[in-house]
Amino acid sequence: METKKTHAHSSTPKRAVCCAVITVSDTRTEATDTSGRTIRELLTEAGHTVGAYRIVRDEPAEIGGLLEELTGNPDLEVLLFNGGTGISRRDTTFDVIDGRLEKRLPGFGELFRMLSYEDIGPAAMLSRATAGILRGKFVVSLPGSSGAVRLGMEKLLLPELSHIVNELAK
């Protein structure tokens, strides 16, 4: 159902956004990184650009270092992390990112878990998907499964990416 507010947001001029795609995994390579590939393909199909693509081990120092490096890149507007959002000891992406965000967008994680619940049931509560702002960049952390990244990209991120970046420029 489209409301006046939904319509007003959908009338925000769409523009290409420059994104970084980061896969957090101890085992994936570029050849086996289906989630990272899915994100890159969806971004490109939507008219956005991928300015950086990296795979980083699920080590807090490595994730944090890469986060600092990429937020310092003036060409990048959005950082899309996938992987490391669960509750196992090795899942540290959320902890690193959430600890550094300057502004959190709790609605992203709430909506993501709600939509995930429709797909996978109560296991959705185990996801620590999050999003927020760091150094003027929109930073997102999604689970590492291809289904989760497709859901997050198609239902939440792609429809609002231009709008979010336009808001950050104000």
Cβ pair 149, 115 in contact under 8 A:
no
Q: What's the average pLDDT block by block, 10 residues per block, for the chain (170 residues)?
A: 52 86 96 97 98 97 98 98 95 96 98 97 96 98 96 98 96
Structure token pair of residue 109? 């994680």
What's residue 14's pLDDT?
87
What's residue 13's pLDDT?
72
What's residue 1's pLDDT?
46
Cα radius of gyration (the chain): 15
d(CA 162, CA 128): 24
Q: 101: helix, coil or strand?
A: coil
Closest CA to 56 of 88, 85, 19, 93: 93
**Strand arrangement of the beta sheet that strand 103-104 belongs to:** 49-56, 18-24, 78-82, 137-142, 130-134, 103-104
Cβ pair 85, 129 in contact under 8 A:
yes
Count Cβ neighbours within 10 Å for each residue of 90-124 and write b for 16 or more, e otherwise.
ebbbbebbbebeeeebeebbebbeebbeeeeeeeb
Instruction: Name the residue ranges covered by the structural domains of the chain.
Output: 16-22+33-52+61-168
d(CA 19, CA 2): 28
What class does CATH assign to 16-22+33-52+61-168? alpha beta
